[in-house]
Amino acid sequence: HSVAVLGAPFSKGQKRRGVEHGPKAIRDAGLIERLSNLDYPVHDFGDLSFQYLEKDEPYMHVPYPRTVGRANKLLSGAVSNAVGAGHTTIMLGGDHSLAIGSVEGHARQCPDLCLIWVDAHADINTPLTSPSGNLHGQSVAFMLKELQNKMPELPGFSWMKPFLSAKDLVYIGLRDVDPGEYDTLKDLGVQYFTMRDIDRLGIQRVMEVSFDHLLSRKQRPIHLSFDIDAMDPSLAPATGTPVNGGLTYREGIWITEEIHNTGLLSVMDLVEVNPALGASREAVASTVSMAVDVIASSLGQTREGGPITQESQT
C-alpha cells in the first residue's frame, strides 16, 4: 500500500492564530523523510488552500460557521479522493474542526469505518452546549446520527449529513470534558477512556477493550483522529488548549503502535500543533517532534527494529 500526506492549514475552528502553520512545521521537521524509511511509497499532496470568507457572521456564539463549513467540504473531497486512490491518508492540521471533513470524506469511501479519537477533550459540544462557541470543540457532534435533532442547521454545513453511530466511536485520553459533553457521552453510551481510566487499567488494556468494542464483530477501516493535546503538555506544549496530566510518550506510542498492528488504519488526522504558541523554540520543536513520532508509529515505525528489506539497504 501507499501513504498520502495532505496538509490542511486552517485555524478558524478556534480563536488562536498560528495553528494554520502546523502542516509546514511538521513537514520541516522531516515527516516525509521519516515516512520514506518505512516500507511503502509516500505521496505528499501538499497543502489545501482554504478561502476565508469576508462576510461570515457568527451563528449564536459560534464564530466563522461558513468558513469552517466550506473548508471542511473541500477537505472532505480531498480525503475521499486520496482514500479512493488507495492511499492510507495522513491529514495534517490545522485545528480539530477539520476532522468533520476528514472523517466525512473517509466515510464516503468507507461507510463502515470506526473512529478512535485521541484527545484531552471530547469535542462533542453542540452549538447549544458549547461554552466557547469554537467549532473545534464540536466536531464529533456534526458526525453523530444520534445528535441529529440536537444540532441546529449551521450555515456552511448543508453539504453534509451525520453519518456515524455512537457505537462506532472510542475516545482515549480525556481529561477536560464540559458538562454538556458529559451528559451526551453518558446518554449515548459512548465508549471512552479518560486519563483516570488509563491510570486504572493501563494503556495496554485500554487498547484491547477499544479494539474489542470496535472490531470484534468485524474488521473494518480505522479513522484515527489524534489531537496533539492528548499528550502531556511537557511533551507537546505548543498547542492551543493544553491540559495537565496527559499521555506519556510511551502511552502515546503504544496507542499508535497497536493501531498500526491491526493493519486497519485508513486515515489519520494529526491536529492542533500550533508553532506560534510554546514558550520557546525548544517547546515548539518538541511538540512537532512528538507529532512526527506518533505519525511514524501509526504507519509502522517500531521500537523493535526489523529485518533487512530492499529499502533498508541504502
Rounded to 10 degrees, the C-alpha dihedral 250/11/222/143 comes to 130
* Least distance from ligand DIR to the Cβ atom of residue 30, Å: 26
Q: How many whole angstroms separate alpha carbon 8 and alpha carbon 206?
A: 30
**Residue (16 or 205) nearer to Mn ion, CB:** 16
Does 119 participate in catalysis according to the annotation? yes
**Residue (181 or 293) nearer to ligand DIR, CB:** 181
**Residue (137 or 156) nearer to Mn ion, CB:** 137
* Least distance from ligand DIR to the Cβ atom of residue 177, Å: 7
| Residue 300 interacting entry, from Mn ion, ligand DIR, none, C-beta within 5 to 8 Å by type | Mn ion
Q: 136, 109, 114, 111: which is closest to 125 by C-alpha?
A: 136
| Residue 232 interacting entry, from ligand DIR, Mn ion, none, C-beta within 5 to 8 Å by type | none
Residues near Mn ion (CB under 5 A):
96, 119-121, 123, 227, 229, 300
Residue whose grid cell is 479518560: 194
* Least distance from ligand DIR to the Cβ atom of residue 80, Å: 24
- φ, ψ of residue 97 to 5 degrees: the values are -60, -25
| Long-range contact set of residues 202-205: C-beta below 8 Å, sequence gap at least 24 | 203/247, 203/250, 203/251, 203/254, 203/255, 204/254
**Residue (104 or 123) nearer to ligand DIR, CB:** 123
Q: Which of 87, 106, 121, 260 is catalytic?
A: 121
Does 213 participate in catalysis according to the annotation? no
Q: Which of 20, 47, 56, 123 is catalytic?
A: 123
Q: 120, 112, 103, 292: which is closest to 196 by C-alpha?
A: 120
Q: Which of 119, 176, 181, 293 is catalytic?
A: 119
Helix (H) or strand (E) holding 44: strand 42-47
Q: Helices 65-84 and 99-109, interaxial angle, to 10°? A: 30
Residues near ligand DIR (CB under 6 A):
96, 119, 121, 123, 125, 130, 132, 134, 136-137, 178, 227, 229, 241
In the DSSP assignment, the letter for residue 59 is: B
Does 197 participate in catalysis according to the annotation? no
Which residues, at least 6 apart from 1, have a Cβ–Cβ distance to it below 8 Å? 40, 86, 87, 88
| Residue 87 interacting entry, from Mn ion, ligand DIR, none, C-beta within 5 to 8 Å by type | none
Q: Indicate the residue whose CB is closest to ligand DIR.
A: 137
- DSSP per position, 113-132: -EEEEESSS-----TTT-SS
| Residue 130 interacting entry, from ligand DIR, Mn ion, none, C-beta within 5 to 8 Å by type | ligand DIR
Does 272 participate in catalysis according to the annotation? yes
**Residue (65 or 246) nearer to Mn ion, CB:** 246
Please give the positions annotated as active site.
96, 119, 121, 123, 136, 227, 229, 272
